[in-house]
Structure 1
Amino acid sequence: MNELNLETSPYLLQHAGNPVEWKAWNPKSLATAKENNKLIIISIGYSACHWCHVMEHESFENQEVAQVMNTHFTPIKVDREERPDVDAVYMKAIQIMTGRGGWPLNIVTLPDGRPVWGGTYLKKEEWIESLNQLQELYQSTPEKMIDYAEKLHQGIQEIGFIKNDNPETEVNQNVLKFLVEKWKKSFDMEFGGIARAPKFMMPNNYQFLLRYGYQTKDTDLLDFVNLTLTKMAYGGLFDTVDGGFSRYSVDMKWHIPHFEKMLYDNGQLVSLYSDAYKLTKNPLYKEVIEKTLHFIEKELMNPEGGFYSALDADSLNSDNQLQEGAFYVWKIPELKAILKEDFDLFSQLFNCNSFGLWEEENYVLIQNQTLESIAEENKIPVSELQTKKVFWENLLYNEREKRPKPRLDDKCLTSWNAIMLKGYVDAYKALGNQKYLDIALQNAHFIIKNLWTSDGNLFHNYKNGKSSINGYLEDYCFVIAAFISLYEATLNEKWLHDAKRLMDYSLDHFYDDKKSLFAFTSNLDEALITTHYETEDNVIPASNSVMAKNILQLSIYFNNSYYEQVSHQMLLAILPGIDYPSAFSNWMDLALNHSEQNKELAVCGELALEYCTKINNLYIPNIVLAGSQKKSTLPFLDSRYSNQETLFYLCKNKTCLMPNTDYQQIINDLIK
């Protein structure tokens, strides 16, 4: 019997009507496989995954396929977003077996969960043939399969660790220069990003490169980051009509997206564009921030203040068939009917030509020239073209809203909510819009109310008033980071104390002092076939790199030498062995936090919040900021408050200058 109707995950519910007798990942399902001595099929995907939908339609809805799967296997369907721990372990397995990965991720394992075979998307005939061969092998010569599983299991346990043969005791800042120079060789100097397709945004990469370029005064690097952010903002990766970024571009020029919109991408990109706006004051970046947050509030916010996970890549087309990108693309006759006499100028701006053509006469809107250059060519004021652009986008938005919308993944994930929360805080810091801070605070209270228990642990998921999965390290690290950011924006020390409580819980239940890293799963959870330590930064930075940054910042606020020691040891476990810089950019950013350039600033007095708001509006990535409008017992602020005047304490390496009352002098000292 298919048991997925008992689940809340939209992805699992999509498969609840399959003839395949799917089970969810849980101890009961795994025990059943052992009892029946059946191989397990573990099929992993997510609700917005286009090729997951294709394989479901071709295979999992097919009676012939279901017969094979139900007779000889225990089929288990996994939502990778709900169970990133399961996904991470079996992704390692397929990378060892095939040298690549992706979703849908289909793994066949022994009844004890050790993998023996893996693939991604397979056509129906390939899938049936593979399963039949595996079943025959398991029946005829199980010892061969068991021997292979043992060797593969050993490889899974070893993969992912950087072997550091020369342990160091100090952070070598010169490593960063070498890694950045190596990284530059892969830059795409025409469209930005890395010179390959598909192109993922990798926001953390550009957070680091922006900061490194700023701190080293590398104008070429800053120009490259701004080129990348500009080209990404020009569309079609960015939805200029209604805001929000898709997950990645299938081509080199950021044009044709894989059309799903993920919460975690947009949260990080808002933070990135907010930092870039602070530095450049580029109005395009402000437009991106405002449009994206409007999209999030309108499409991905639930009534309780939580954020939903994603919009699907697929939507119904004019033939009432699910089709990738159907909601977003345009045909020329349709555009002409909407835009009338403005079509020619519109088509010049948004490339209704060979540059903007996708397939089957469908166009995805993309700029490749500035408004200034197009306005000059057409001998019209830039302000007039800007006004027209806004008007055209409103016309298209109203027309597009008549179409069937992409399917919504309406579960809330703690880690992704925290990433988006921080995006709102960073936008507030950059633009000063109080609404952004209000939404961030509303989401923080949603997390506290629904996802943080009285026992001290976080849950990972929430839907329909129900949370069922114990939190992973990614939930703790991003909530802590978001709460620290809320403190910086509000100076409400509650957020720091909440962050510290979560950090202490993490040290108790996730930290492995022998490896100087945090495990991805709590020691209270049922163990998988191997322990996963997430160290590589990807489309989301590694939970260990985020945690190492958090604990260093908290060490300063709470004058906690043990916290500082943990962060230092974590960095030294990773930094000397880095070879591929884009996979460790957040660790490299952490290394900058350990440099001589990093400073701490305490602002104490009645005007502390006013001054901290001004400082938050500036791009100064190398400071830890604290402040208080009253006496504080926070160790970093203790005995520093004066009711006579607002004092600035600038510190470095636990040594502070004499308090200063001159705000501009402090700013000059920070940015010199």
Structure 2
Amino acid sequence: MIHLNLLRFETSPYLLQHAHNPVEWHAWNDETLAKAIASNKMLLISIGYSACHWCHVMERESFEDRHVASLMNEHFLCIKVDREERPDVDQLYMQAAHLISGRGGWPLNAFALPDGSPFYAATYFPKSNWIDLLTQLAMLWQQEPATIRNAADQITTGIRAGSQSPAAAGHSGSAGLRVPVESSATGPPLSLQQFDELYTHYRHRIDFRYGGEKRAPKFPMPSMWEYLLHFHHNTKHEEALTAINSTLINMARGGIYDHLGGGFARYSTDERWHVPHFEKMLYDNAQLVTLYAHAFQCTGYALYRDVVHETLGFVERELMAEGGGFYAALDADSEGEEGRFYVWKEQEIDAVLGPDAAVFKEVYQVSTEGNWEHGINILLRKNTIKLHAGNHGFSQPDFELHLRGLRRRLLEHRSTRVRPGLDDKILCSWNALMVRAFLVASKAVCNENLSYAQAMHYRTIGLQQLDFLLTTFVQNDGGLKRNFKSGRQATIDGMLDDYAFLISALTEAYQTVFDERYLNVAQQLTEYCMTHFLDQTEGFFFYTHQRTTGLVARMKELNDNVIPSSNSEMAHNLLTLGTLLDIPRYRILARTMVEKMAAEIEKNIYYHSNWGRLALLLVEGPVEVALAGPEYAEWAQQLHRRYLPQVILTASAAESQLPLLKHKHFGSKTRGFICKKQLCGEPLNSVAKLLEQLD
């Protein structure tokens, strides 16, 4: 008899994967929480995501076992949570795990009182240990419930204390919004000298040989390298650029990068980026496309441009939904083995490529013994294409063309394999990140001699997908929903990251095509956040809407991680919109937020890198560039090719009501204007003069 639990009514692929477990899983919702209180059962909250390898392992070992399921069903009300759909739930119970053990990860298994107050949380358990834990907790609940309640009180108190802003927790900065006016005399939150000292303190953690940090496993952490790229731009610090290039080149050559299909795996298990954890996440690839595009603007390295093209090719081919939107992830596993879809034995390559195999194997480190385990090879490069081309008597362009043909043949063969599982939910925040990636890429590679048509293709996709997000996720009350799948109605209210990254995508779209409609929507969403998410006392935004129920604490996301924090992204948005629309209260709030985070930035830039970028921008203040006249698009294209992180750009062919464009049009002539610190220079009559002043 096939078992079905309540998860069969959900849309999340991760929850649906557990719909046939003998565990009586419930989804996280008000009805489930009311049922827990009525039954006085402890909550067992198991949190994971569809591409998580160890989540699948624990399901096979424990959740599909009828004896284990009977223990879980008898003593607990069991809730399954997709952390990508409900990051608010994940954040709360992950904080509990860190308070209890100092570590966290997925699968995350949290135990809580019927009201949701956590008293224990940990990660993966082998089956025997899991049974022992369930038995002990059931006995403790029956015999010493006060012990469990006391533990829950302590942990809940710790969570609530941890959700305060740095100022409220006793760090530097004044609580509340008490800056009545904006003053050009106000100094930056951090000085350029402090940023130099920050780099000096951080540099010992950089792996200059292989890139990234000196650690394993290694995560790409795009926000950190975006920060260092901006730092290099401001200071011309050459060692910082060396660290960036070492990281991006080694990642692009390593096994973490899919050399046949494009795109990056989630992280590397070793220090050299050779052996990945093979899941491919939408949010990683979105941010890495943006990073490589910015690095290409800065350095002109063709490798970075190629990574952008290949990764966006992967996204279009494998993650873009036919009806609109981007899917969330590809699993690490296929046919029950991690990475099986992506790896090769030497004889497979010989069979597909025949006489051409020798060259390919030399370039991509393929051998009989294998470069991983059990004679298996992960495709990776150690040397430059130029070196290999010279060894074989080819010009570099001819050799690259030959390799491209070999990769295409292997990709076609690979496509006949059993594919990894696809997580086909569409999330607002992650989609917004990818929309921005397409738009940034369209600007970076826009060269009339090389990639103009491809750049316009990226722009078209970015704008089409942005319109899909606005149509799908914006609700009648002006707020957002978070999730969408298979045409079914979204069920989860948008969280702060949904707003923050969608607003960011909208401002990117405006600065790409200068359609003021995007600014209007961005302002509407920002005002919605100010009303429903902003903590008026502390001056930061809560992660959840004020109407959200069921959580024992309302959290604030402040630390930047693999994805920048929603508060740091909102601060960027407030500065950008406040500048474009001349709204002082936006700019004041952005500056105030950074000021309150200044001590945290100095303490640990790695987990405050997006805050650091904004603080860097405030050292000299943003540079406002206005292009007015019929040739504004051609002028903008020249700016778009350059890495100009300090520039906030506005443009129009005819008179506009936008503050930065008022009274700046001269009939048939195109002019450029540069404004900084409330001071504007003379009109510039050529884009060359404009670029000269910006450089």
TM-score by length of 2: 0.94
**1:241 alignment partner in structure 2:** 260
Q: 2:463 aligns with which of 441, 447, 459?
A: 441
**1:319 alignment partner in structure 2:** none
**2:302 alignment partner in structure 1:** 283
Q: 1:455 aligns with which of 466, 474, 477?
A: 477
Code of the residue aligned with 1:172 in structure 2: it is: L
Question: For residues 354-373 of structure 1, what are the alpha-carbon distances to aligned partners after superposition, in whole Å with 9 as ceiling and x for unaligned?
Answer: 99611111110010110112
**What does residue range 121-520 of structure 1 map to in structure 2 within 5 Å?**
121-159=124-162, 161-162=165-166, 163=169, 165-167=171-173, 170=187, 171-173=189-191, 174-316=193-335, 322-353=336-367, 357-432=371-446, 433-465=455-487, 466-520=489-543
Percent of residue pairs bearing the same amino acid type = 41
For the residue of structure 2 that corresponds to 1:517, the secondary structure is coil
Conserved 8 A contact 1:109-1:115: yes
Q: 1:587 aligns with which of 611, 618, 621?
A: 611
Q: Decide whether aligned partners of structure 1 residues 661 and 325 sit closer, same or farther in structure 2, where only a CA change above 3 A counts.
A: same
Question: For residues 102-138 of structure 1, what are the alpha-carbon distances to aligned partners after superposition, in whole Å with 9 as ceiling and x for unaligned?
Answer: 0000001111111111111101110111011011111
Structure 1 residue 233, shift from structure 2 partner = 0.7
Q: 1:58 aligns with which of 57, 61, 64?
A: 61
Question: For residues 32-61 of structure 1, what are the alpha-carbon distances to aligned partners after superposition, in whole Å with 9 as ceiling and x for unaligned?
Answer: 111111110000000000000000000000
Conserved 8 A contact 1:261-1:313: yes
**2:557 alignment partner in structure 1:** 534
The answer to whether 1:34 aligns with 2:57 is: no
Structure 1 residue 389, shift from structure 2 partner = 1.2
Structure 1 residue 353, shift from structure 2 partner = 4.2
CA distance in 2, matches of 1:596, 1:281: 26
Structure 1 residue 437, shift from structure 2 partner = 0.6
Task: Give the total of aligned pairs.
Answer: 666
Conserved 8 A contact 2:171-2:599: no
Structure 1 residue 658, shift from structure 2 partner = 1.9
The answer to whether 1:659 aligns with 2:666 is: no
Structure 1 residue 376, shift from structure 2 partner = 2.5
**1:103 alignment partner in structure 2:** 106
**2:592 alignment partner in structure 1:** 569
Conserved 8 A contact 1:164-1:576: no
Conserved 8 A contact 1:305-1:439: no
CA distance in 2, matches of 1:355, 1:211: 43
Q: 2:52 aligns with which of 49, 58, 64?
A: 49
Structure 1 residue 332, shift from structure 2 partner = 1.1
**2:580 alignment partner in structure 1:** 557
CA distance in 1, matches of 2:436, 2:141: 50
CA distance in 2, matches of 1:79, 1:380: 51
Structure 1 residue 210, shift from structure 2 partner = 0.9
Conserved 8 A contact 1:472-1:520: yes
Which residues of structure 1 form unaligned runs of 5+? 317-321
For the residue of structure 2 that corresponds to 1:448, the secondary structure is helix
For the residue of structure 2 that corresponds to 1:380, the secondary structure is coil
Report the more deviating stretch, 42-51 or 349-358: 349-358
**2:570 alignment partner in structure 1:** 547
Structure 1 residue 510, shift from structure 2 partner = 0.5
Structure 1 residue 180, shift from structure 2 partner = 1.7
Code of the residue aligned with 2:605 in structure 1: it is: P
Code of the residue aligned with 2:260 in structure 1: it is: V
Code of the residue aligned with 2:57 in structure 1: it is: V
Question: For residues 563-600 of structure 1, what are the alpha-carbon distances to aligned partners after superposition, in whole Å with 9 as ceiling and x for unaligned?
Answer: 11110111011112331111000000001221216311
Structure 1 residue 343, shift from structure 2 partner = 2.5
CA distance in 2, matches of 1:567, 1:541: 16
Question: For residues 586-640 of structure 1, what are the alpha-carbon distances to aligned partners after superposition, in whole Å with 9 as ceiling and x for unaligned?
Answer: 0000012212163111111111122112101111111111111111111222222
CA distance in 1, matches of 2:600, 2:290: 28
CA RMSD of aligned residues (A): 1.4
Higher relative contact order (CA 8 A, sep 6+): 2
Conserved 8 A contact 1:205-1:586: yes
